[in-house]
Structure 1
């Protein structure tokens, strides 16, 4: 696996831990945006593939996640998280001025990446959304119907057909295994609505990848969100039988081949 290093910076709501997988002469900068309850350390395989493809890779543990500060899995405003991601993009561009930026967001990270593209899309060469929480995520209104949201733990078996992925997730002390916080659910609802009404991605090349058997973030909810924001250059890949974490699936190399082929198509030269 590619070597990585960590550093910290002051995020909007506290100290944020960032990770870099360096490449001295990158063709592009890949910014990874992780999902709810997890952390950027779960993306070692993805980062290694991208480094070997020519990228320098960067990512952060969002506030309340992984090694970053904050109450666990509490996000009160996703706009602040977008701002933290923008900080790591600026760091990457400071390290490698003028190198194209490709933003890759999974699940909740897809929501963050979509909102980032609406706010800062003119600084991106491409956008990749993996199983994105966008459009309608049925668990949000379902849990907000309760004054105190009940604990609905994620079934690790829904992550991947490779059951070792779920086992590692369940045993990972940096993963949040508790219930949703009401404020986080409210932030999801607000940002889902904001994305839907804030315009399309325009000409930004966008790749949407999704598991055909994703039961955590079903395609039927994400598709209306994609249709609301899609610009003039959207590529869609749905993987039959794949579950939520397509980057950790039994077919992960096919998925990552599709990502790298997409990047090759859109990069200058």
Structure 2
């Protein structure tokens, strides 16, 4: 663990603004510190794709950003992680995207993983969406002809939705995505009524409380790894809960989004209030399909292999349909032109 923290320190000394170039990719391949980071999180197993790394700057904070670029990608897939998480824990999502022949872009939210910012603490989810918007713009440099898609987990779903809703409120009617998969999406957390009262009582007196590591996956090896992960925050920020309350109020007032959406939710999830969240999301995402998982807990992207396989088959079918529709529309436009 000490060796990894030392490697991360060297990465921060070496990193540069993200550029899409083979020269930059080669420099990171030769970085012993970066290779140590990749090895620790098993992100060095994607030899079939070019891998770029760097940062984008948002509000004077450096946001750690990766891309994986296979040959002849048929689309672009953004991966957004959940609260406390980071790209290092999302190898399963990256692997899925590459298996589907997508270019994959993933980044650490502010205050998470390798990104700068107070650890897992934020005043407004707008700081998360600003980071996503900057990464989104940078990703336009990737040589990809195909649909733009997203796969998000928990808080990452809120970031993805808020970004689209903010653009909608600004009058942008053209969707930024051809489709999205939402895993265990966060609207409000489990036990929200009690949590809201506790937050109101504690906010004037404390800045954070100790995090409780829950059994949020059936994969025992993952849970063991998570507790030993040196990039895991060990405190719950009261400021972050305040920011989530602001997002919840905004979501209540939002209009619907027509983007095709696959919602995946486990019925053993005790992190988010899915009995409340799923109907609320379904009402605001009319072009949706819900895939229920009887045994699924919250960390769906790091669930037991059989559980993961079940819903990823559904996600692959969903993305295949979107790609076929995108290509048919493009071919039709070419013939019309």
TM-score, structure 2 as length reference: 0.74
Q: CA deviation at 1:96?
A: 2.8
Q: CA deviation at 1:73?
A: 0.6
Give the corresponding residue for 1:173: 230
Q: CA deviation at 1:154?
A: 3.3
Give the corresponding residue for 2:270: 215
> 1:88-136 deviations in whole A, cap 9, x for unaligned?
1222222135531112211111111111232347111101111111156
* Cα pair distance change 1:245/1:163, threshold 3 Å: same
Give the corresponding residue for 2:46: 2
Give the corresponding residue for 1:245: 299
Which runs of 5 or more residues in structure 2 are unaligned?
1-44, 168-173, 328-337
* Distance in 1 (alpha carbons) for counterparts of 2:244 and 2:183: 17
- In 2, are the aligned partners of 1:160 and 1:248 still within 8 Å (CA)? yes
Equivalent positions of 1:133-144 (< 5 A) are 133-135=186-188, 138-139=191-192, 140-144=195-199
- In 2, are the aligned partners of 1:6 and 1:17 still within 8 Å (CA)? yes
- In 1, are the aligned partners of 2:209 and 2:237 still within 8 Å (CA)? no
* Distance in 2 (alpha carbons) for counterparts of 1:142 and 1:214: 22
* Distance in 2 (alpha carbons) for counterparts of 1:201 and 1:137: 25
Q: Please give the root-mean-square deviation of Cα atoms over the aligned residues, in Å.
A: 1.9
Which runs of 5 or more residues in structure 1 are unaligned?
none
- In 2, are the aligned partners of 1:243 and 1:249 still within 8 Å (CA)? yes
Give the corresponding residue for 2:124: 77
Q: CA deviation at 1:164?
A: 1.0
Equivalent positions of 1:79-118 (< 5 A) are 79-96=126-143, 98-118=145-165
- The correspondence for 1:57, drawn from 68, 86, 104, is 104
* Cα pair distance change 1:170/1:228, threshold 3 Å: same
* Cα pair distance change 1:163/1:249, threshold 3 Å: same
* Distance in 2 (alpha carbons) for counterparts of 1:155 and 1:9: 31
Q: CA deviation at 1:149?
A: 6.3
- In 2, are the aligned partners of 1:136 and 1:192 still within 8 Å (CA)? no
Give the corresponding residue for 2:280: 225
The answer to which structure has the higher helix fraction is 2
* Distance in 1 (alpha carbons) for counterparts of 2:300 and 2:257: 23
- In 2, are the aligned partners of 1:93 and 1:99 still within 8 Å (CA)? no
Runs of 4+ in 1 over 3 A off after TM superposition: 135-140
> 1:200-251 deviations in whole A, cap 9, x for unaligned?
112x1001001110001131131243134212x1010110011101121121
Give the corresponding residue for 1:184: 240
- In 1, are the aligned partners of 2:189 and 2:273 still within 8 Å (CA)? no
Bigger mean CA offset, 106-115 vs 144-153 = 144-153
Tell which structure's C-alpha radius of gyration is larger. Answer: 2
- Aligned residue pairs total 265
3-state secondary structure, aligned to 1:263? helix
3-state secondary structure, aligned to 1:89? helix
Bigger mean CA offset, 87-96 vs 240-249 = 87-96
- In 2, are the aligned partners of 1:208 and 1:235 still within 8 Å (CA)? yes
3-state secondary structure, aligned to 1:123? coil
Q: Does 1:43 align with 2:90?
A: yes
* Cα pair distance change 1:224/1:189, threshold 3 Å: farther
* Cα pair distance change 1:252/1:160, threshold 3 Å: same
